[in-house]
Structure 1
Amino acid sequence: QYKLPMGNIIPFPKSNDPSSAQDFPPGKHVLAVYPGTTALYKATVVHGHRRVIILSFPS
């Protein structure tokens, strides 16, 4: 078991309701599902809007 403050938990927005998704400015570090996997990886936002976000994953 792990105990975390609520501020350390970020809920995933519903995929059919993009209005609940937050904006991510360029340069923001995020965790994102790497294409073709089910795992979260560190990434940096290159260009972002609520509907489409372009990310850069480290090589």
Structure 2
Amino acid sequence: VTTSTHKVQYIMACKALKEVVWLCSLLSAISRTQKVPLPLLCDNNGTITLSDNLSFHA
């Protein structure tokens, strides 16, 4: 459990990105590729800063 808003939004952005990767994989399996990048939008500066910090990437 986290009390920080930007950490919660970071976790939710990661979950959303996992869903996008899964959907792209599914589309690829049925020969439908995604031709344009899908943007991940976020309006929280703390979350954006956290995602830009490479030490938090797995």
Pick the TM interval, shorter chain.
Answer: under 0.3
Query: Which protein shows a greater Rg?
Result: 2
The TM-score with structure 1 as length reference comes to: 0.26
* Structure showing the higher strand proportion among its residues: 1
* Structure showing the higher helix proportion among its residues: 2
